[in-house]
Amino acid sequence: MNRAITRFIRNLAGHSGGAQLAPGYRSALSFQRALAVGAIGWMLLGASTITHADDASSSSSSSLTTASSAERPAGVEAMIDLTTTAGVAAVNGAWRYSDASIVETSFRAPDSAGQPTGVAINTHDIVPHAGRADFDDTGWETIQPTTLSARRGTGRVSFNWYRIAVTIPTKIGTFDPSGASVWFVTRLDDYAEVWVDGELDRTYGQQGGSVVAGWNAPNRVLIGRHVKPGQTIQLAIFGMNGPISDAPTNYIFVREARLEFAAGLATPVAVEPHEVNVQVERDDPAIDAIVPPNAKLYKVAEGFQFTEGPIWLRDQQVLLFSDPNHNTIYRLHEGEPLTVFRDRSGYDGADIAEYGQPGSNGLTLDSQGRLTINEHGRHRVTRLEHDGSLTVLADRYEGKRLNSPNDLVYRSDGALYFTDPPFGLPRFFDDPRKELPFSGVYLWKSGRLRLLTRDLKGPNGIVFSPDEKYLYVSNWDPAAKTVTRYPVHRDGTVGRGEIFIDLTKQIAGEDALDGMKADVRGNLYLSAPGGVWIFDARGHHLGTITAPRPVHNFAWGGSDGRTLYLCARSALYRIDLQIPGIRP
C-alpha cells in the first residue's frame, strides 16, 4: 500500500475539519468513510466484477453485477461499470466529450478587506463552464465507453470535460435499486472534479469527493441518497493534466468510472453547512449593494422531493418549509438533525396516491406568530393556533371548493392575501376535482373571503411593496411569464393591474415564474428559470443569483434578516446578502 493511499485512508478514518457534527451528520459521514475505505482496499486487490476496456476475456454481463461479498467494497450491493457498452446502456446514457481552454478575462484586485472590489485586472478562466446540469452538450463529440482510456486533451497543461446523464435502472442483475444510495467512483489520469446535477460541493479541508483527490487518486461522490428507478442524474467530470507546475508530456484519460449501489442513507437530512458553486450575474452596478462581491452559497439540507414555502421563526431561529410532494412540513435548526414539524400537511384522503403534490405549499405567520398554511390537497388555508388546534380560514368561494392555495402574505392590518392556481391537483386545469372555472387571487379578513382578481392563469408568488401600496403577483404560465403589480386601496381591495415584469420572450420552455420576496428598499426577488432574479422598485433587472438547482421559493432569515434561504427542489441553500428583507 503506497503512502498516498495510506494517508487517504487515515484521513477518512479521522474526523475531517474538526467540526462537531450532530448525530445525523456523524452517521452519514461514518458510512461514507466505510464505503470509501472499502473501495480503496478493493481497488488495491482487484475485482473481477469490473470490466476494463482492455480486458478482452471479460463478458459484457460482468459490467452489471450484484457482486459477492468477497468482491465488493463494504456495504456495496451492486455496481455498474460505465467504461463498458453494457454498463452505459443499462443507465440509458452516452458519454460526451470536449476539450477545455484557458481564456483571458477581467477581474478586480483585492481591497483592504481582501474582497474583489479593487482596480480592474486581467486574469484567466476556463471554458466551457460545463458543470451545470442544463449545459447544452448536444454539439459535443459522443465517445464510446470503451474508449474512455484513450488519451485526450492537448497534452502538457490541458483540461477537458466528460459528461453523462445516468438513469437509474429497474434492476441490476437481481438487485432492485429502489431506495438505494448511489456513489459515482472515477479515477482520472491525473486529477478530476465531479459535478452532480450541476452542483460542485466543497467543504473546508475536503480531500477528494467532488474536488481533486490527489495524484491519479479516485474520486468517490454520493450522487443519490434514496433513488428511484427512472431517476436521471447528470454527471460532469472535469479532467486536468498534471502536475500543473511541471507540465507532463502526456495526456488526460479515464482509468475507471462506475456506479456503486448501497443501502439507502437517511433522507432527507440536514447536512453540515458547506459551500457549493454559485454564479452571480451583475447586469447593473446597483446589484453590488445587494449581493456581496464574493458571495457564498451554502447547502444546509438535502434529499427532499420538492422544497417550497419557507418561513423563518425569529423567536426560535429556525426555518419551517414544505415538501408538498412528501406531504410534510420540516423544521431546520442548523447544527441539529432535521425534524418533521407536521406530517400529512396538506392531505390524507383515500385518493392521495393520485396526487403529485398533496401536501402544504406556502407558509407564513400572522401578527401573533401563528403559522398559516396553504394546504394543496384539502383545498384550503388554515391557521395553526398556539394550543395546537387548527382553524380553517378559507376553503370555498361562493360555495365552490378552492383549487389548491399556493402562496400567501399578510398585510400589516391582519388581512391575508393568497393565490389559488390548480397546480396541487393531479391533473391541474383538467382535474375533475376542480370546481372553480378560474384561478384567483383572494383577500381574507375577519372571516370574509373576497376575490380580488381572476385575470391570471397561474397566479403564484405574492408579495407587498414595503409601503404596502402595491401588491405583486407572479404568473406561472408558459405563455405569459409575468409579474403583475396591483395598486392597493385603503379597504384592502386592488385596482387594475399592470404588467410590471415580463420575461416571456427571455425565458424559453415550460417553466415559468414562482415565489417572490421583497427587501426593505423595495427590491423584488423573483424565482424564475435561471435562478433568483433581482429587480429594483422600478422593475429594472439588476442581476441574477444562480444556484446549482432551480430555485422555486425563498425566505428571509437569520438574526438580522439578511440571510436568504433558497428552496431548490431536492436541496435547501442559504446566502448572506447586504440588505434586510421584509419578513413577518
Kindly tell me the sign of the dihedral angle through the C-alpha atoms of 37, 43, 46, 51: positive
Residue 325 has a pLDDT of 97
Tell me, what amino acid is at 435?
E
Q: What is the dihedral of CA 90, 93, 44, 38, to 10 degrees?
A: -70
Q: pTM of the entire structure? A: 0.88
CA 144 to chain centre: 30
Residue ranges per domain, the chain?
A: 3-262, 269-576
| Beta carbons within 8 Å of 444's beta carbon, 6+ residues apart | 381, 393, 394, 415, 416, 417, 418, 450
The DSSP call for residue 40 is H
Other Cβ atoms within 10 Å of 181 Cβ, number: 26
Per-residue pLDDT at 62: 55
| Fold classified for 3-262 | Jelly Rolls (2.60.120)
Which pLDDT score is estimated for 264? 87
- Residue 139 in grid coordinates: 454539439
CA dihedral sign, ordered 315, 316, 321, 322: negative
CB of 278 closer than 8 Å to CB of 574: no
- 73 contacts 59 by C-beta, under 8 angstroms: no
| pLDDT tens per residue across all 584 residues of the chain | 333 333 333 333 333 333 333 333 333 334 344 444 344 333 333 333 333 233 333 334 456 665 444 445 678 999 999 999 999 999 999 999 999 999 999 999 999 999 999 999 999 999 999 999 999 999 999 999 999 999 999 999 999 999 999 999 999 999 999 999 999 999 999 999 999 999 999 988 888 899 999 999 999 999 999 999 999 999 999 999 999 999 999 999 999 999 999 988 889 999 999 999 999 999 999 999 999 999 999 999 999 999 999 999 999 999 999 999 999 999 999 999 999 999 999 999 999 999 999 999 999 999 999 999 999 999 999 999 999 999 999 999 999 999 999 999 999 999 999 999 999 999 999 999 999 999 999 999 999 999 999 999 999 999 999 999 999 999 999 999 999 999 999 999 999 999 999 999 999 999 999 999 999 999 999 999 999 999 999 999 999 999 999 999 999 999 999 999 999 999 999 999 999 999 99
* Set of cell numbers at residue 290: 445587494
Answer whether 152's CB lies under 8 Å from 251's CB. Answer: yes
269-576: CATH topology is Neuraminidase (2.120.10)
Q: Which of 460, 443, 444, 461 is nearest to 452 (CA)?
A: 443
Distance CA 372, CA 582 (A): 17
Burial per residue of 447-481, b for 16 or more beta-carbon CB atoms within 10 angstroms, e otherwise: eebeebbebbbbbbbbbbbeeeebbbbbbbbeebb
Distance, in Å, from the CA atom of 535 to the CA atom of 157, rounded to the nearest integer, reads: 42
Distance separating alpha carbons of residues 217 and 193, to the nearest angstrom? 11
